[in-house]
């Protein structure tokens, strides 16, 4: 259960939604029939050890609502009460997302990242509003709004979610406490516009570390997430905290040091993200494995990661002076804690 009342959600977020969020992709048994408890515990414990204050419990991996609740419970036990957990509202329908969030509430989730199903095909802002409000009304948890071109809402408005729509949602959904601002990605227009209009109402998150650290020379950001950064070990929580505390030049020194890893990640992501609108969670899991996380197989349907991406990602970490395993890539699909 949440540690705050629904009516106090925004005040809670302003005080507690601080730092950086990792992304934890669940680990499975070798036969893919059940969750890998030891692998999950290891990954949550490592994310916390690296300095992350939250993690997103990724649900875009063929997991059921009931398994997701088990995933949440395991993460709560591993992370402790002082480690924040995002429920990922990424199931197939509004009804299924509502069922899953109610289970996750009981299992220990703190906050929601609101996604939209591939089958949700709105042709008006009213439809986007209705889906969002119905979900927000159904949960007592705080909700992070997530405008991004992945949803295809640009058919409704060029930005996907207009300022007017966001303003209406903030007015009518008091448990929307933050905005993960990626309208117009990969350009920074979304974060700039949301910060300009709504920074005094809700927490504005720039999840893209390559943008967030430079922008913190101009913006007061208290939280960044959720995104694929834990594969660079403790770099991002360290750099983000330096920038948040006013030591921006020191943060930028770390920023440039890890640029080879950032560039390798960007090149791999550009090969698929723009055309498919689907994130390659297998690649994310491999990147995590390079940094000491569990790794292991994912359920179908899952995208593959070919050798031509594995090698540059590994070398990007080496060139950045970041931790990277010596284990051969053949061990990735086995995982560190197979079961």
For 111-170, the pLDDT digits (tens) are 999 999 999 999 999 999 999 999 999 999 999 999 999 999 999 999 999 999 999 999
Axis-axis angle for helices 281-290, 259-270 (nearest 10): 160
According to the model, what pLDDT value does residue 162 have? Answer: 96
pLDDT at 275: 54
Q: Which of 178, 245, 260, 190 is nearest to 213 (CA)?
A: 245
CB 36 within 8 A of CB 75: no
pLDDT at 276 over 70: no
Residue 274 has pLDDT above 90, yes or no: no
What pLDDT is stored for residue 171 in this prediction? 98
3 band by pLDDT with thresholds 50, 70 and 90: confident
Residues of the chain above pLDDT 90, percent? 92
Residue 279 has a pLDDT of 86
Which pLDDT tens digit goes with each residue over 189-242? 999 999 999 999 999 999 999 999 999 999 999 999 899 999 999 999 999 999
Distance in Å from the first CA to the final CA of the chain: 30
The pLDDT, as a whole number, for residue 200 is 97
pLDDT at position 20 is 98
Residue 207 sits at the vertex; the CA angle it makes with 136 and 158, to the nearest 5 degrees, is 70
Q: Say what the pTM is.
A: 0.95
pLDDT exceeds 80 at position 306: yes
pLDDT of residue 74: 98
In sequence order, what DSSP letters do the residues of 271-317 get, joined into one string? Answer: TTHHHH----HHHHHHHHHHTT------PSS-----HHHHHHHHHHH
Q: Distances from the Cα of 261 to the Cαs of 145, 258, 310, in angstroms?
A: 29, 6, 12
Q: Under a CB-based contact definition with an 8 Å cutoff, are residues 188 and 216 in contact?
A: no
pLDDT digits (tens, 9 = 90+) for 231-266: 999 999 999 999 999 999 999 999 999 999 999 999
**Rounded-to-integer distance, Cα 137 and Cα 173, Å:** 7
Q: ∠ at Cα 65 (277, 284), nearest 5°?
A: 40
């Amino acid at each position: 259960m949440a540690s705050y009342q629904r009516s106090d959600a925004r005040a809670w977020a302003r005080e507690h939604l601080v730092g950086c969020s990792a992304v934890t992709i669940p680990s499975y048994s070798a036969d893919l029939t059940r969750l890998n408890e030891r692998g999950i515990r290891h990954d949550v414990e490592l994310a916390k050890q690296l300095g992350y204050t939250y993690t997103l419990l990724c649900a875009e991996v063929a997991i059921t609502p009931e398994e997701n609740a088990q995933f949440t419970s395991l993460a709560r036990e591993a992370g402790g009460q002082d480690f924040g957990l995002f429920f990922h509202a990424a199931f197939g329908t509004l009804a299924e997302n509502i069922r899953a969030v109610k289970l996750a509430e009981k299992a220990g989730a703190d906050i929601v990242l609101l996604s939209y199903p591939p089958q949700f095909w709105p042709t008006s802002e009213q439809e986007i509003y209705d889906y969002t409000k119905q979900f927000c009304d159904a949960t007592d948890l705080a909700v992070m709004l997530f405008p991004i071109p992945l949803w295809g809402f640009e058919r409704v408005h060029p930005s996907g979610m207009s300022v007017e729509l966001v303003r209406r949602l903030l007015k009518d959904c008091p448990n929307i406490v933050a905005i993960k601002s990626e309208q117009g990605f990969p350009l920074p227009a979304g974060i700039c516009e949301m910060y300009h209009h709504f920074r005094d109402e809700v927490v504005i998150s720039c999840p893209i570390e390559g943008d967030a650290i430079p922008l913190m020379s101009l913006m007061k950001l208290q939280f960044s997430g959720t995104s694929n950064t834990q594969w660079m070990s403790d770099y991002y929580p360290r750099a983000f905290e330096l920038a948040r505390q006013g030591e921006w030049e020191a943060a930028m020194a770390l920023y440039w040091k890890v640029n080879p890893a950032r560039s390798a990640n960007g090149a791999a992501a550009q090969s698929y993200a723009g055309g498919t609108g689907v994130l390659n969670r297998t690649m994310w899991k491999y990147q995590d494995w390079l940094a000491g996380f569990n790794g292991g197989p994912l359920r179908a349907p899952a995208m593959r990661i070919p050798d031509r991406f594995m090698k540059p990602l590994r070398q990007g970490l080496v060139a950045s002076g970041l931790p990277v395993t010596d284990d051969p890539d053949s061990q990735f699909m086995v995982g560190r804690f197979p079961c």
